[in-house]
């Protein structure tokens, strides 16, 4: 019929739609949100859009193109995860800008003011769309215009906010507790406290740092005691997968460190909080942000010479062989993808020149002889669930596992680890073995609550925040820290 077939007829609806819009609004700008590429079989491509669609839309009255990509059937591309490079879809508005004369807006994982400015200066597009970046820091645009790039609390692209929207829940940001809480959190909770307290924080991870920041803004005197020689907690390890970009997690650590320094919060490194220390310091309150520890399952042979924990691998203390078996398909999913990609040359997309330095290694190909044979042994029915987001990262990580050639064996029970072999009982009830050069243990984490058990009821008021209340995503660390800091 007149609405379909060749491109001329397929575009008739757009012509009439824009014509009616112009009649309705008169001399008023019409901005069209468009997908540069639908990313699905039977859908149009970027070449189609530039050749057929964009010219007709401009002729029909479109005054600006706001370029995104994908459709609902492939919604993971619409809101790209942290695994994708920054500016991931910038090549689409760049291509469209070359075939139209009206302004073009671009978006897609642009969470750094420097990158936004550079893309405009380089003529990639005329306007930068900042969605999640403005959720993480509503002052993103103002700080960028002032050149205060390091003051921006950058989005980590975890997509918790988007998943809340999909699940019909109030949208929450992992790193910005205040987002979308206007109606439920009284403004006075953030005003200066009437009773200033001397507070001791045990642990310098994201929860401990966020608590210290907010409590200090309210007027309390806060001291952070960190057992190690640096701040960050577990996040520096979680951000250290060689072939999978999780380094966005460091954004919140960098920002919190800057805030800690700006506020003059005292940090004592290599200082462990104990009952004796508390008796000596006599604080008004103690906040425990002691984090979590790896779970080591009770399996014969678990302490073998070629068995390493996930933390040990991520810290760079252990190297792995060519055949890798991973016990644990949830916490072990990301390391499986990273190892599975070793030796595989990744595609070089057109946006490579806009990667920030720490992201460049995502595209580097290692030597072919380093290709890993990776097998996951998981006791449950699926892999890639916790600790990842329950929709977005679960879908993305499973796609990545398949692309990386990782073998996933689910509903299995590991019975014994010997030198070079793992024995397990499969879902069919039969016993089998799988060979390995290196075995990585990644079955999960457990809250570190020993100090709480020692202190509860014996000393000053004790609060728990973050992973020591139960291992979770970074959102829990930031949010529990805020709840405590705004009530203490």
Query: pLDDT per residue over 175-205, tens digit each?
Result: 999 998 876 655 555 668 889 999 999 999 9
CA distance 324 to 435: 8
Task: Please give the pLDDT value at position 123.
Answer: 94
Q: Judge if 18 and 128 occupy the same domain.
A: yes
* pLDDT > 90 fraction of the chain, expressed in percent and rounded: 73
Query: Scanning the structure block, which residue is given the tokens 């190892």?
Result: 339
Q: Judge if 111 and 240 occupy the same domain.
A: no
Q: Judge if 14 and 126 occupy the same domain.
A: yes
Tell me if 35 sits within 8 A of 74, measured CB to CB. Answer: no
Look at residue 25 and tell me if it is in a domain.
yes
Flag the least confident range among 25-29, 170-174, 285-289.
170-174
Task: Please give the pLDDT value at position 388.
Answer: 62
Of the three residues 166, 185, 213, the one that is the final residue of a domain is 166
Q: What is the CATH number of the domain that holds 383?
A: 3.50.50.60
Confidence of residue 75 (pLDDT cuts 50, 70, 90): confident
Domain that holds residue 404: 296-443
Confidence of residue 358 (pLDDT cuts 50, 70, 90): very low
CA distance 67 to 290: 44
Mean pLDDT of the chain: 90
Task: Please give the pLDDT value at position 357.
Answer: 37
Task: Please give the pLDDT value at position 54.
Answer: 98
Half-sphere exposure of 454 (CA within 13 A, CB side): 13
Mean pLDDT along residues 204-229:
97
Look at residue 1 and tell me if it is in a domain.
no
Q: Judge if 45 and 140 occupy the same domain.
A: yes
Whether residue 462 has pLDDT greater than 90: yes
Angle between the N-to-C axes of helices 206-217 and 474-485, in degrees from 0 to 180, rounded to the nearest 10:
30
Look at residue 277 and tell me if it is in a domain.
yes
Look at residue 67 and tell me if it is in a domain.
yes
Look at residue 178 and tell me if it is in a domain.
no
Confidence of residue 391 (pLDDT cuts 50, 70, 90): low
Q: For 239-243, which contacts have Cβ atoms below 8 Å and span 24 or more sequence positions?
A: 240/314, 240/315, 240/316, 241/314, 241/334, 241/335, 241/337, 241/338, 242/338, 242/342, 242/361, 243/337, 243/338, 243/339, 243/341, 243/342, 243/361, 243/362, 243/366
Give me 484's structure tokens: 């405590």
Give me 369's structure tokens: 């002889």
Flag the least confident range among 91-100, 288-297, 391-400, 406-415.
391-400
Of the three residues 130, 148, 166, the one that is the final residue of a domain is 166
Q: Judge if 286 and 300 occupy the same domain.
A: no
Q: Judge if 107 and 238 occupy the same domain.
A: no
Q: Judge if 452 and 439 occupy the same domain.
A: no
Q: Judge if 29 and 123 occupy the same domain.
A: yes
Q: What is the CATH number of the domain that holds 55?
A: 3.20.20.70
Whether residue 317 has pLDDT greater than 80: yes
Task: Please give the pLDDT value at position 346.
Answer: 56
225-259 confidence digits (pLDDT tens) = 999 999 999 999 999 998 888 999 999 999 999 99
Q: Judge if 101 and 132 occupy the same domain.
A: yes
Q: Judge if 394 and 245 occupy the same domain.
A: no
Look at residue 145 and tell me if it is in a domain.
yes
Q: Judge if 365 and 470 occupy the same domain.
A: no
- Structurally, the chain folds into a number of domains equal to 3
Give me 127's structure tokens: 């306007």
CA distance 110 to 128: 8
Q: Judge if 36 and 135 occupy the same domain.
A: yes
């Amino acid at each position: 019929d007149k609405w379909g077939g060749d491109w001329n007829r397929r575009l008739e609806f757009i012509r009439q739609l824009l014509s009616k819009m112009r009649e309705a609004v008169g001399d008023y700008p019409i901005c069209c949100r468009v997908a540069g590429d639908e990313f699905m079989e039977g859908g149009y491509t970027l070449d189609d859009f530039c050749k057929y669609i964009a010219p007709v839309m401009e002729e029909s009255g479109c005054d600006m193109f706001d370029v995104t990509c994908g459709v609902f059937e492939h919604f993971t591309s619409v809101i790209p995860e942290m695994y994708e490079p920054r500016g991931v879809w910038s090549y689409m508005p760049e291509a469209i800008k070359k075939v139209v004369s009206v302004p073009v807006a671009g978006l897609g994982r642009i969470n750094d003011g420097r990158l936004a400015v550079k893309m405009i200066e380089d003529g990639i597009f005329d306007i930068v769309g900042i969605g999640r970046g403005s959720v993480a820091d509503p002052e993103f645009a103002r700080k960028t215009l002032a050149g205060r790039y390091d003051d921006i609390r950058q989005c980590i692209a975890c997509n918790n906010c988007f998943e809340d929207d999909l699940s019909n829940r109030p949208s929450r940001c992992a790193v910005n507790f205040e987002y979308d809480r206007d109606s439920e959190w009284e403004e006075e909770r953030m005003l200066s406290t009437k009773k200033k307290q001397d507070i001791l924080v045990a642990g310098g991870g994201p929860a401990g740092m966020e608590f210290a920041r907010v409590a200090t803004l309210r007027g309390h005197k806060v001291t952070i005691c960190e057992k190690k020689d640096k701040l960050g907690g577990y996040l520096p390890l979680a951000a250290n997968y060689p072939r999978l970009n999780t380094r966005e997690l460091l954004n919140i650590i960098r920002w919190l460190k800057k805030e800690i320094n700006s506020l003059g919060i005292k940090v004592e490194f290599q200082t462990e909080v104990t009952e004796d220390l508390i008796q000596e310091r006599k604080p008004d309150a103690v906040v425990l942000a002691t984090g979590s520890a790896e779970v080591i399952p009770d399996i014969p042979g678990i302490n073998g010479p070629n068995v390493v924990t996930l933390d040990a691998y991520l810290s760079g203390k252990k190297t792995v062989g060519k055949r890798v078996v991973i016990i644990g398909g949830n916490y072990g999913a990301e390391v499986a993808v990273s190892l599975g990609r070793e030796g595989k040359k990744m595609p070089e997309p057109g946006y490579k020149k806009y990667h920030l330095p720490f992201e460049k290694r995502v595209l580097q190909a290692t030597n072919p002889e380093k290709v890993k044979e990776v097998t996951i042994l998981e006791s449950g029915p699926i892999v890639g669930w916790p600790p990842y987001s329950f929709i977005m990262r679960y879908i993305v990580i499973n796609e990545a596992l398949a692309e990386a050639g990782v073998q996933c064996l689910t509903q299995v029970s590991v019975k014994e680890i010997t030198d070079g072999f793992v024995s397990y009982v499969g879902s069919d009830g039969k016993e089998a073995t799988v060979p390995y050069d290196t075995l990585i243990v990644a079955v999960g984490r457990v809250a570190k609550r020993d100090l709480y058990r020692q202190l509860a009821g014996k000393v000053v008021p004790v609060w728990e925040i973050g992973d020591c209340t139960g291992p979770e995503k970074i959102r829990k660390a930031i949010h529990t820290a805020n709840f405590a800091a705004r009530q203490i």
